Amino acid sequence: MGISANKLSALLEEKAVLMADGGMGTTLFQLGLHSGAPGELWNLDHPERIEGVHRGFVDAGSDIILTNSFGGTRFRCRHHNSEDRVRDINVSAARIARKVADAAERPVVVGGSMGPTGEMIAPYGERTPEEIESGFVEQAIALKEGGVDVAWIETIFFEDELAAAVRAAERAGLPYVLTMTFDTGGRTMMGLRPEDAIKLPVTHGWSPVAFGANCGVGPAQLIDSVLGLVKGSKPGDVVVAKGNCGLPKIGNDMKIRYDGTPEVMADYAALAYRAGARIIGGCCGTTQEHLKAMRAVLTGGPRGPSPSYAEIEQKLGPVKITTQRPAPA
């Protein structure tokens, strides 16, 4: 489908809320991926494991699954001596997810995950916007070749990098979703607030299918980001919430685990929906079991009142920002 008539937009017209998937990286670690190893190479070395993760997310009720290509640009692949395998990694990632989505008994959207490059653009770093865009174009074209429905540009904190990724998706002819991470006092690392970030498409002339927040420092903070996004949105904007499963804890075995229970993530999903999000999923730590609990509350019924900060903190813990935003009336 073209940019103006994409599968995700069509599904949003049919349903009040869509559920995205959970944490791919977290699940791969549970399956044996070593810390620091590139999970994207499993698309080539262990495709059946990636397929199993996607299938688990779909079985749990996800309407959207993201390809295992978060670190699939040449810049990140370079760290693992796989820069010459960018196309193969991303095409394979897309084909694996496409296979699972096409086998589902209901419509499932495949989002091509495009994470940050790990590079900084001048004057903050040595990369030019053209270099970053070129890396994203290479990835986006490969993801499209593999069959993704939409480019899913995620975990971005720098406006210039977001702009480069958008240009790449447009050059590849893909519709796109944008999510940023607001984990520094309720702002991106570069100081951008959610209510200002959601206005970037108007400023730059972009046309994302949806705009939102992902990752961060826990579900309470993510709900605060959603409130900010909704506050700055215009009619018709689709807001995405994809928060971490609680907070990370280091166990006696020195492995990182997230402390969010299925019940906590169900509360998060319900609050995100009431806050105004229309696409809700989980990020780091979110497993199939968490998604099942989230699916049970995401029925698409009346939203109810936007949550107060007292309710958010009572159910999810402290909102770690300096100044709380007033919840919409």
Q: What is the pLDDT averaged over residues 196-209?
A: 98
Predicted confidence at residue 324, as pLDDT, reads 54
CA distance 164 to 128: 10
Q: What percent of the chain has pLDDT over 70?
A: 95
Whole-number Å distance between alpha carbons of 280 and 301: 14
* Residue-wise pLDDT tens digits, 238-258: 999 999 998 888 777 657 788
- At 60-118, the pLDDT tens digits run 999 999 999 999 999 999 999 999 999 999 999 999 999 999 999 999 999 999 999 99
B/e letters for 150-166, b = 16+ CB within 10 Å, e = fewer, are bbbbbbbbbbbbbbbbb
7-316, which class in CATH?
A: alpha beta
Tens digits of residue pLDDT in 30-61: 899 988 889 999 999 999 999 999 999 999 99
Nearest-angstrom CA–CA distance, 244 and 281: 9
156-197 pLDDT tens trace: 999 999 999 999 999 999 999 999 999 999 999 999 999 999
Domain ranges of the chain: 7-316
pLDDT of residue 328: 45
Tell me the longest C-alpha to C-alpha distance in the chain: 53
